Chains A and B, each alone.
Chain A
Amino acid sequence: MNMQNGITLLLVFILIGVLVNYVFFQNETRKLFAETQSVEKQKLELNAEWARLQIEKSTLVSNNRIEQVAREQLGMKLPEDEQVLVIVR
């Protein structure tokens, strides 16, 4: 009888332990989930940023702009045909 009572008591404690555990991990899951959500969102934002920077970069390196900068700001030009010499080795 005493033995049985002991087992019952033990089971009650185990049950309480499991339930507390369950609640704890449920909460933990929620927290982690919220974190993945925000990381996902961050990923989307970074992706968008990357695409935006790609576009900005491609605008900056557009042949049109490079030609303009080379000609106007750096005073460069393509060599005339007469200025081209071939090095023979």
Chain B
Amino acid sequence: MRKSQHKQVNISLRIAIVMAFLLCCFVVVVVRAFSIQVRGAEFYQSQGEKRHVREVEIPVSRGSIYDRNGEPLALSTAMVSVGIVPGQLLDQFSKVEQLAEVLDLNADELKQIITSRKDRQFLFIKRRITPMLADQVKALNMKGVEFRTEFKRFYPAGETLANVVGFTDVEDVGQEGLERTYDNWLTGTSGKKTVVKDLLGQVVADIDIDELVQAKPGKDLHLSIDRRLQYAAYLGLKKAVYKFRATSGSAVVLDVKTGEILAMVNQPSFNPNGTKESNEGLRNRSVTDIYEPGSVMKPFAVVAALESAEYTPQSVVNTSPGEYEVDGFVIHDFRDYGELSLVDILVKSSNIGVAKLVLGLGKEHLWDVYHRFGFGQSSGSGFMGESAGYLPHHDRWRTADHAALSRGYNLSVTTLQMASAYSVFANQGRYRSPTFIKGNINEDKAIIDPMIASQLTDMLSHVVQDNDGHKAFIPNYSVAGKTGTARIAEKGGYSDNYMSSFVGFSPVSSPRLVVAVTINNPQGDAYYGGLVAAPVFAEIMKTGLRLLNVPADQMSRTLADSTVDAVPLMQEVGDVQ
């Protein structure tokens, strides 16, 4: 007992020492806690959230493009892009080799990239691979390899529509054609939401019920293009461009009633699903390239003559002797046609005839007619990169220019403008801006007297009818149209190269389609529009009328009057069935 009392003093001292020690520890803890909880709170909070609360992107696809019948022309499909975090791969080079093999990459290059950019957080090594290939990569089970969803654009119509629809770049932004024109419409906004992830990176919970940024997929685009007609037109044009070894060519098919562009084809073209090797085929020449049209302009000069009320379609103009001097320039005809009515001026395509017609009228009047038909102005189709063509103001015309303009020189047009201008004749004198979008029909406005339009329609049908064996002829349908063969201008004059064209519409009794064909620089002996462009016109028109079920208006052989021939033909059909 004594012994223990003696020790008690010692114990209380010890307790005091221990207490003091503990107090010190406590103070340290409190100070540290203070510095973490109060002074460093923000830093640690954000660090903690970074590890668990993440903003994740919700990828959205670009809108699809369809033709007028709902056939796809451009589709986005989800693909997987593979990226790496270089820092995490430094110590697993053996697996990097496997990775390179699966992705068909050069292993040494990949290793070099990893070492040289080891500080980068993330970099893509292969973009837009198929989900199947991605599964193979995932099977390697590598740390530091990440996957992102990206979309790849696919164009089922291929080269037939390539330069009209255009294409997108690797970031899914429209670069050319309608992809570029309607980029805002097609592009969606990818959404964002905050989520909680666990240690393995699995999403455990959505934090907000509403997305931070709502995901809006791109809107679809329905074009006025008819894919079947587009294909037929492309094939027809391609064959002709190949056959005549031409530099390029374009063709446009318009619906007379609505101004909708049913087909628009160009040569050369490119494969939008492959790599673009050259820039040659990228342009949509039908709307971007301008040319001097030549004789296809003559009907508009005749409109000017008819509007002056000094002429009727039967008025006669003397074109003898086949040469005519204007202001020091001599205008030639193919031969001496003698006296020609206005109809025959168009049928024979007399340069002297139209020159004499317009020189008697004011310059301003001819300019006004051309201007009303849309020349020198953008057609209003809205296509990005569309050219307005060129029509000089009448103040600057010399007399020789006045005569040249009457036969389609000294002004430049696009193939689309030509098609739109001719549809005025087919549409009772009313002009309507063409459109690429189904159902987006522009208002039409009367620009010439319907009477004159029907006179011109009649005259243009004579062009095809009265020229025996005209290549624009199609069986069972009446056709109205005009050929053009223009020398291509070069520095200081005109070259020996030609621009062959044909513009026309059918059926004459109730026009449904306008087709304009332009073939640039055909080689060889045949360069006349009637030989080069008219057959393409006929082929496209024939297919178009068949595809649209347009009733025939000029039956050459009917079942009623050729029953004898018809029987074996019908049997032939029966056999196939």
Binding site for B on A (CB under 8 A): 29-30, 33, 37, 44, 47-48, 51-52, 54-55, 58-59, 61-64, 76, 81-88
B576 / chain A contacts, CB cutoff of 8 Å: 76
A86 / chain B contacts, CB cutoff of 8 Å: 476, 552, 555, 557-559
Are B158 and A62 touching (Cβ within 8 A)? yes
Residue of B nearest to A59 (CB): B156
Are A83 and B154 touching (Cβ within 8 A)? no
A52 nearest CB across to chain B (Å) = 6
Known: A51-B75, A51-B78, A58-B75. A87 touches B559 (CB 8 A): yes
Are A55 and B476 touching (Cβ within 8 A)? no
Of A37, A48, A58, A81, the contact of B71 (CB 8 Å cutoff): A58
B133 within 8 Å of A by Cβ?
no
Of B71, B75, B158, B204, the contact of A30 (CB 8 Å cutoff): B204
B232 / chain A contacts, CB cutoff of 8 Å: 63
- Alpha-carbon distance between A22 and B562 when the two chains are bound, in angstroms: 89
B558 nearest CB across to chain A (Å) = 5
Most chain B Cβ neighbours within 10 Å, of A30, A76, A87: A87
Are A63 and B72 touching (Cβ within 8 A)? no
Are A52 and B77 touching (Cβ within 8 A)? yes
Are B569 and A85 touching (Cβ within 8 A)? yes
Of A30, A54, A81, the contact of B72 (CB 8 Å cutoff): A54
- Alpha-carbon distance between A84 and B556 when the two chains are bound, in angstroms: 9
Binding site for A on B (CB under 8 A): 61, 71-72, 75-78, 131, 149, 154, 156-158, 160, 203-206, 227-228, 231-232, 475-476, 552, 555, 557-560, 562, 565-566, 569, 576
Are B72 and A85 touching (Cβ within 8 A)? no
A88 / chain B contacts, CB cutoff of 8 Å: 555, 558-560
Chain A interface SS verdict (over half): helix
A85 / chain B contacts, CB cutoff of 8 Å: 557-559, 562, 565-566, 569
Residue of B nearest to A82 (CB): B557
B72 / chain A contacts, CB cutoff of 8 Å: 54-55, 58
- Alpha-carbon distance between A76 and B206 when the two chains are bound, in angstroms: 59
A29 / chain B contacts, CB cutoff of 8 Å: 205
Of A37, A44, A52, A84, the contact of B475 (CB 8 Å cutoff): A84
The 23 listed contacts between A and B (C-beta, < 8 Å) are: A30-B205, A33-B204, A33-B205, A37-B203, A51-B75, A51-B77, A52-B77, A54-B72, A54-B75, A54-B77, A55-B72, A55-B77, A55-B156, A58-B156, A62-B157, A63-B228, A81-B475, A85-B569, A86-B555, A86-B557, A87-B558, A87-B559, A88-B558
Residue of A nearest to B130 (CB): A52
A55 / chain B contacts, CB cutoff of 8 Å: 72, 75, 77, 154, 156
Identify 9 new A-B residue pairs, CB closer than 8 A, beyond the known A51-B76, A63-B160.
A29-B205, A44-B149, A55-B75, A58-B72, A62-B158, A84-B475, A84-B557, A86-B552, A86-B555
B557 / chain A contacts, CB cutoff of 8 Å: 82, 84-86
- Alpha-carbon distance between A37 and B231 when the two chains are bound, in angstroms: 44
